[in-house]
Amino acid sequence: MNAYKSFAVTVTGGSHIKHGKGCEDFSFKHEDSGASIVVVADGHGEDNCFRSARGAALAVACAAKAMQEFVELYKSNFSSGRLRKKMLPSHDDLDKAVRDLVKHIIALWQAKVEENYAARPFTTEELEKADDKHRKKFEAGNGLNRAYGTTLLAAAITPHYWFGFHIGDGRLTALYPDGTCDQPVPWDEKCYLNVTTSICDDDAFDRTRCYFSLHEEKPPPVAVFLCSDGIDDNYPVDENEKYLYKLYRTIALTFSEDGFESTCKQLKDLLNSFATKGKGDDTSIAGFINMETLKKAVPAWKKQIIKEELSVEKAPAGSFINDVKKGPLIRLW
C-alpha cells in the first residue's frame, strides 16, 4: 500500500495580477494505493513565449498521464507473486526506464503543442509580442514550440521505489527521517537568475536531470517537495539550499502538528505571501509526505532547526525572509 499523501498548490504572482497577466504556473497531485505523483510546470514569462501558460498546462497533463501509465506498467513486477529478487527489474533497468519516460513525455508535449497550434494558429496580436527574430521564425512556421516554453518538474513514489526528473529551474528537495535534506536531482548550471532551460529546447532531453532510487537500496524520504522559482528565487543564491531546507522541514513539522488538511490550507496562505511580499512571481509547491514516518522524525527535525536558527536570524532586517518568519502562515520552530 502507498503510505504517502500528496498535495499541490499554485497561486498567481502579484506582479502578474498588477500587469493583467494570467497565471503561468501549473501543479498536479495524484495518489492511490499504487503511488503518489506530483508535477509542477512554470511557463516562461518572456514575450516570445506568449503561450507559455498553455504550454505549462500541457506539460503537466502529459507528465501526469505518462507517469501514471509508467507506475501501472511496472506494478506487476513488484506484485507479491514476483518478489523473488531474480525476477525484479534492476536499478539500472528502472533508471533507464525513467529516462525513456522523460523522452516520451517530451514527445507527447511536442505533439500536443502542434495540435494546439493547428487548432489555433498564432494571432497578429500574439505575434506582435515577440521580437523580430522570433516573429519571423513563427511566421515561417519554425520553432513554434518556443511560444509554449515551460519548465517541468515531477516526482513519484511507490511502495518499492521513487524517482524524480527536472527540466529547467525550480527545486526538488527530499527530507529524510534523520532530519537531513538533499536535492537528489542535479542542478542545471545553465539555469541562473532569469535564464532557464526549457522543455521547448532542441536539447531538452539531454538537459533533463533524473533521479531514481529503490527503497531496498536506500530508505525512502519522509517527504519530497517540488517548487517553482517563485519560492527559491526569494532566497540568497549562495545560501538557497539552507533556507529551502529549513522552510521544508518547518512545513513538514506543521503537517505533524496541525494535520494534513489544515497544513494544506496554510500552504495556500504561505504561497500568497511569497507571491505578494516576495518576488511577485507565480508560485507553486507540490509534494508527498509519509505522515506516519513523519511522527517518528519530529524530535530529530526540531533539533536540526534549533541548531540552524541563529544562522537564519542573520538575514537582513526587513527582508522577506524575516517577514515570513514573523507571519502566522506556518509556525517556525
Query: pLDDT value at position 21?
Result: 83
CA 158 to chain centre: 18
- Run of H or E residues at 311: helix 291-313
Region 259-282: mean pLDDT is 91
pLDDT band at residue 87 using 50, 70 and 90 as cut-offs: low
In three-state secondary structure terms, 292 is helix
The answer as to whether 333 is a domain residue is: no
The answer as to whether 32 is a domain residue is: yes
Q: Report yes or no: 23 and 34 within 8 Å, Cβ to Cβ.
A: no
| pLDDT higher than threshold 50 for residue 323 | no
The answer as to whether 332 is a domain residue is: no
- Run of H or E residues at 293: helix 291-313
Higher-confidence residue of 279 and 289: namely 289
Query: pLDDT value at position 288?
Result: 98
Q: Per DSSP, which regions of 197-331 are E strands?
A: 209-214, 223-227, 283-289
- Per-residue pLDDT reduced to its tens digit, 137-161: 999 999 999 999 999 999 999 999 9
Which range of 100-109, 247-256, 309-318 scores highest in mean pLDDT? It is 100-109
The answer as to whether 298 is a domain residue is: yes
Written as nine digits, the cell of 206 is 539531454
The answer as to whether 83 is a domain residue is: yes
The answer as to whether 331 is a domain residue is: no
Query: pLDDT value at position 327?
Result: 41
For residue 96, the enclosing domain spans 5-326
Higher-confidence residue of 10 and 188: namely 10
Task: Kindly report the pTM of this predicted structure.
Answer: 0.90
DSSP secondary structure code for residue 40 in this structure:
E
| pLDDT higher than threshold 90 for residue 118 | yes
Q: In degrees rounded to 5, what are phi and psi of residue 168?
A: 100, -160
Into how many domains does the chain fold?
Answer: 1
What percentage of residues in the chain have a pLDDT greater than 90? 63
Query: pLDDT value at position 39?
Result: 98
In three-state secondary structure terms, 195 is strand
CATH code, domain with 9: 3.60.40.10
- Per-residue pLDDT reduced to its tens digit, 31-49: 998 999 999 999 998 899 9
The answer as to whether 61 is a domain residue is: yes
Query: pLDDT value at position 321?
Result: 42
Region 125-136: mean pLDDT is 96
Query: pLDDT value at position 50?
Result: 96
C-alpha 237/C-alpha 45 separation (Å) is: 21
Burial label for 180, CB within 10 Å (0-12, 13-18, 19+), is middle
Written as nine digits, the cell of 162 is 521513487
Lowest-confidence segment of 66-75, 80-89, 227-236 by average pLDDT: 80-89
| pLDDT higher than threshold 90 for residue 91 | no
Q: Measuring CA to CA, how many Å separate 6 from each of 46, 73, 224?
A: 31, 21, 9
Query: pLDDT value at position 188?
Result: 81
Dihedral (C-alpha) 164, 255, 27, 175: value to the nearest 10 degrees?
A: -20
The answer as to whether 192 is a domain residue is: yes
pLDDT band at residue 238 using 50, 70 and 90 as cut-offs: confident
pLDDT band at residue 325 using 50, 70 and 90 as cut-offs: very low
